[in-house]
Structure 1
Amino acid sequence: MCRNIAPMYSPDEKRPRRLSLAKRAGFGNRGGMCIVALAWQSHPRWKLVLIGNRDELHARPAEPLDRWDDPDHLIAGRDSQAGGTWLGVSEQGRLAVITNVSSENGPDSDKYSRGDLLKDYLSGKGRYADFGVDDFHDFNPFNLVTVTGDKALIHSNRPEPGSDTLQPGLHGLSNGMLDRPWPKSARLTKALDQWLGGAADRPALLLDTLMDRTACLPDADGKAATDWEPSIEPQYSSIFIHNPVYGTRCSTVVAIDHEGAGSILERRFDASGTVTGETALPFDWSL
């Protein structure tokens, strides 16, 4: 379920100095997803439906969604700079997606790339192939969802390292801590819920949902249905971020039915917000 709590700061409290979203969340340093909504074990046809956007500096190079050569059971995009990924699936029955958690001081450049967690976990080899909570100190702040077969977990290293079972239902993640969701997370989760409540037979339509540029701001009294990070500029509050320097680079949809037939779709954008390409790949989880 999506959680609703009060804002982090009262109107009388001094708000922190404003850093750019890219600097605080560290996207230009260790790229990850920025907003994700997923339905886990909550639909008669779909075991999992996951949708999300990756926001990043447009100058940071990345490879589009594809099946990797090594290992060939891994399907994901690739961060050309650090070598990891932000979202991917393995035909060995694994899925992982990560969101960076913003911090006032920005990322620590001495930490490992968060994409290494996903790369090793999905490939089944490497230092973090079988990671534990003690490994979370190696990384800048994150939220991570992993699925192995019929087991889904949510991991985070803020405020303390930990892992919990992801219960069946709808869930939303952004760049806040797990107990402090942002307004755009609630908006995207609601949109996914509406799709699931309809025909729910064309996952590709969810790519259009991820192009929503509506600003998700608190109410006039400063309150919101979910928590709000008050130092975020309105241009970064929408599901799709349109900005020539830092913005939405790609949208991704993953759909896996209860028989194990899966598909992963990616739509890519340039600095002007124009679609530059799409990729759709099937995969098999009928283990």
Structure 2
Amino acid sequence: MCLINFQYRQHPKYKLVVAANRDEFYGRPAQEAHFWDDQPDILAGRDLSQMGTWLGVTKSGRFAALTNFRDPSLPETGKISRGALVKDYLAADSDPATFLKSLEPDAYTGFNVLLGDREKLFYYNNLEQEIVEVSPGTHGLSNHFLNTPWPKVLKGKSRMESYLENRVNVDPDDLFEILRDAEQAADPHLPVTGVGLEFERMLSPIFIKTADYGTRSATVLLVDYEDNITFAERVYEKGEFSGQQVYEFRVT
């Protein structure tokens, strides 16, 4: 997952609104969002390489979402798959802060994670290793720290906030439209993360499409104050829409 824009406890109807894109190599196998056979409480897509996930919810109201931290100097080998962290939290019964305190941060390469339940939402990065309770408002998370002002983060936050402040009822299709923005950022505004200018350009849009890497899925999550959940996912094949699934249920 490479972009998560979300609004927390600011909207009059929804305590959590998430609009997120997962970017990955096209050749890495994945399954669309579904309730897992081996963990039937979990609703999430699934990475079929390591059997973890990047974003999911549970019937009991737990939420988790993950992004990688972009730094080519960080070691990738000999580390636990970051998707296992999301899976393990969704399958656990401890509160988010307790779960985060139990982590061994150096067991994973760089990551950001959002973990929540019905009452609270937390952000954690295993480089800073600080457990932060998320404040009400509109936030953005890409492949750096929470609310780092990368162009895609700023644009996604701004468009989401403008849309939500004028809507009592949210249409997931409108948020999916924001997530389809493929405009590259201008060179002076690009971050410098060690991958070179050409890759910074290709990775700068909200929606990414390159020859072998890009946005594989988009997720819109709505959780209202009565704990009704709408989970909608669109799947893409090499940048082209290939399917959608929508789940609606109430937290039990």
Report the TM-score when normalising by structure 1: 0.80
Task: State the shift of 1:209 in Å.
Answer: 1.1
Q: For 1:107 and 1:239, how far apart are their aligned partners in 2?
A: 26
Q: For 2:81 and 2:103, how far apart are their aligned partners in 1?
A: 16
Identify the residue that residue 23 of structure 1 maps to in structure 2. Answer: none
Q: For 2:212 and 2:123, how far apart are their aligned partners in 1?
A: 31
Instruction: Report sequence identity in percent.
Output: 33
Deviates more, 1:208-217 or 1:177-186: 177-186
Contact kept? 2:123, 2:134, Cα under 8 Å: yes
Identify the residue that residue 144 of structure 2 maps to in structure 1. Answer: 176
Structure showing the higher helix proportion among its residues: 2
Asked if 1:264 corresponds to 2:217, the answer is no
Find the partner of 1:201 among 170, 175, 187: 170
Task: State the shift of 1:150 in Å.
Answer: 1.1
Q: For 1:177 and 1:49, how far apart are their aligned partners in 2?
A: 20
Task: State the shift of 1:133 in Å.
Answer: 5.9
Identify the residue that residue 211 of structure 1 maps to in structure 2. Answer: 180
Report the TM-score when normalising by structure 2: 0.91
Identify the residue that residue 238 of structure 1 maps to in structure 2. Answer: 205
**Deviations, residues 153-202 of structure 1 (Å, cap 9, x unaligned):** 001112x2121100011110001133633111010111111120222431
AA at the equivalent of 2:56: G
AA at the equivalent of 1:143: N
AA at the equivalent of 1:278: Q
Identify the residue that residue 229 of structure 1 maps to in structure 2. Answer: 192
Q: Given the superposition, is the C-alpha separation of residues 179 and 261 from structure 1 closer, same or farther in structure 2, using an over 3 Å criterion?
A: closer
Identify the residue that residue 153 of structure 1 maps to in structure 2. Answer: 122
Task: State the shift of 1:130 in Å.
Answer: 3.0
Contact kept? 1:204, 1:265, Cα under 8 Å: no
**Deviations, residues 178-231 of structure 1 (Å, cap 9, x unaligned):** 36331110101111111202224312321111010011235xxx3x4xx82363
Q: Given the superposition, is the C-alpha separation of residues 284 and 229 from structure 1 closer, same or farther in structure 2, using an over 3 Å criterion?
A: farther
Q: For 2:226 and 2:162, how far apart are their aligned partners in 1?
A: 23
Q: For 1:134 and 1:162, how far apart are their aligned partners in 2?
A: 12
Name structure 2 gaps, 5 residues minimum.
none
Specify the SS of the correspondent of 2:152.
helix
Q: For 1:107 and 1:36, how far apart are their aligned partners in 2?
A: 24
**Deviations, residues 21-56 of structure 1 (Å, cap 9, x unaligned):** xxxxxxxxxxxx100100000010111000110000
AA at the equivalent of 1:47: K
The structure whose Rg is larger is 1
Identify the residue that residue 62 of structure 1 maps to in structure 2. Answer: 30
Specify the SS of the correspondent of 1:130.
helix
Q: For 2:74 and 2:25, how far apart are their aligned partners in 1?
A: 15
Specify the SS of the correspondent of 1:120.
helix
Identify the residue that residue 52 of structure 1 maps to in structure 2. Answer: 20
**Deviations, residues 84-106 of structure 1 (Å, cap 9, x unaligned):** 00000011120000110011325
AA at the equivalent of 1:92: S
AA at the equivalent of 1:269: Y
Specify the SS of the correspondent of 2:156.
helix
Find the partner of 1:274 among 228, 237, 240: 240
Q: For 2:192 and 2:140, how far apart are their aligned partners in 1?
A: 16
AA at the equivalent of 2:50: A
